Amino acid sequence: MNYILGVDGGGSKTTVQIADISGKVISQAVSGSSSYKSVGINRAIGNLNTAVFDAVKKLKVPRDIYFISSCFGFAGNDAGEDSKTYRKIVFNDKLNSYLNPKGTIICNDTRIGLESGSESKNKIIIIAGAGSNCFGINEDGKQAGASGWDFILADEGSGYSVGLKALKAIVKAYDGRGEKTLLSKTILQELNLDEIPDLIKWAYGGLFPKDKISALAETVSNTAKMGDKVSIDILAEEAEEAVISVTTVADKLGFKDKAFDLVLVGGLFKCEEYFKNILINRLRENFPKIKFMPLVGSPAGGAVKMAIERLKDF
């Protein structure tokens, strides 16, 4: 039996949707991250397979199913080498026989988020979640991106960047090199640590803790609402970084005097006063015809949409 497969392979979780040929979603499942930059290749394969086959089980149909068209959107799928790695992850020994190679799209997760969030021909997506990325497309089909180089090269405007700045701020405060901040108390409480020096073991123990650093962004947002100047400044700086990314992409696509949608995705946008509103107000100054769009649909749904479109090619 033929089905459509849509996959959102994020840095923190993988969401899979299975649809019928008409595009109606009939099964969904979630597992851990399938971004190899977050969890490594083997775990990425394992988490991807878990999500896909959990969704297959929910169909309660014979096992001889086949995905005539599929779309995989992965966090961190940015450079040429990434494409080769993600192709190996997708066409792994367990999943390979279920996929139609000619009908399989492997792209960045910003692409599926953009398709899910806007029907406009001129559109941009800005992701401010655990990581950051910005991607857009115009009515002529031209595509452009900014940021999305991951945490070492460029993750400004992300939860990771917020969390890392917060950790550095409380260490500076502890040394006497920086301003005193409520973060010294709230982050220790969040991490269930007794003293600032305990951060050394927390930060350097085990594998590089990108996800757990990103999770601290929520604490920073809550501390900002308590009036903490250091927290407010950190969030404002990261909002400005997101503005730079959007402006860069919009300029590349020629949106200066055109109407376009901006799809907002990621946990940092939950912090309205100190992050979201700063970004909105700054962008409205330069792009008066911009329309801000919250992501109502799921990125996995955008992947299903792209897979359906791919059916027209064969």
pLDDT 10s digits, 12-47: 899 999 999 999 999 999 999 999 988 899 999 999
Helices 183-191 and 216-225: angle between axes, nearest 10 degrees: 140
**Residue 146: what pLDDT?**
93
Alpha helices in the chain (DSSP H): 36-39, 41-59, 80-90, 109-117, 150-153, 159-175, 183-191, 199-204, 210-214, 216-225, 229-252, 277-286, 299-310
Helix, strand or coil, per DSSP, at residue 15: strand
Contact assessment for residue 223 and residue 189, using Cβ atoms and an 8 Å cutoff: no
pLDDT bracket for residue 9 (50, 70, 90): very high
Percent residues over pLDDT 70 in the chain = 98
Task: Please determine, for residue 209, whether its predicted confidence score (pLDDT) is greater than 70.
Answer: no
Q: Token pair for residue 192? A: 């269930």
Average of pLDDT values for 223-229?
Answer: 98
Helix, strand or coil, per DSSP, at residue 130: coil
Residue 58 lies in a domain: yes
Task: Please determine, for residue 170, whether its predicted confidence score (pLDDT) is greater than 90.
Answer: yes
Residue 96 lies in a domain: yes
Residue 37 lies in a domain: yes
Residue 89 lies in a domain: yes
Task: Give me the residue label for tokens 């401010």.
Answer: 128
Q: Starting at the earlier edge strand, list the strands of the sheet with 132-137.
A: 143-146, 132-137, 123-128, 260-265, 290-294
Helices 159-175 and 216-225: angle between axes, nearest 10 degrees: 70
Looking at per-residue pLDDT, the higher value among 83 and 151 belongs to: 83
Residue 196 lies in a domain: no
Residue 260 lies in a domain: no
Looking at per-residue pLDDT, the higher value among 209 and 256 belongs to: 256
205 CB contacts (<8 Å, ≥6 apart)? none
Task: Please determine, for residue 210, whether its predicted confidence score (pLDDT) is greater than 90.
Answer: no
pLDDT 10s digits, 45-100: 999 999 999 999 999 876 689 999 999 999 888 777 899 999 999 999 999 999 99
pLDDT bracket for residue 295 (50, 70, 90): confident
Nearest 10 degrees: Cα torsion 58, 71, 74, 258 = -130
As for how many domains the chain has, the answer is 1
Identify the CATH number of the domain in which residue 35 sits.
Answer: 3.30.420.40
In angstroms, rounded to a whole number, what is the distance separating the alpha carbons of residues 65 and 56? Answer: 9
**Range of the structural domain that residue 42 is part of:** 2-116+298-313
86 CB contacts (<8 Å, ≥6 apart)? 36, 72, 74, 77, 106
Residue 200 lies in a domain: no
Residue 227 lies in a domain: no
pLDDT bracket for residue 208 (50, 70, 90): low
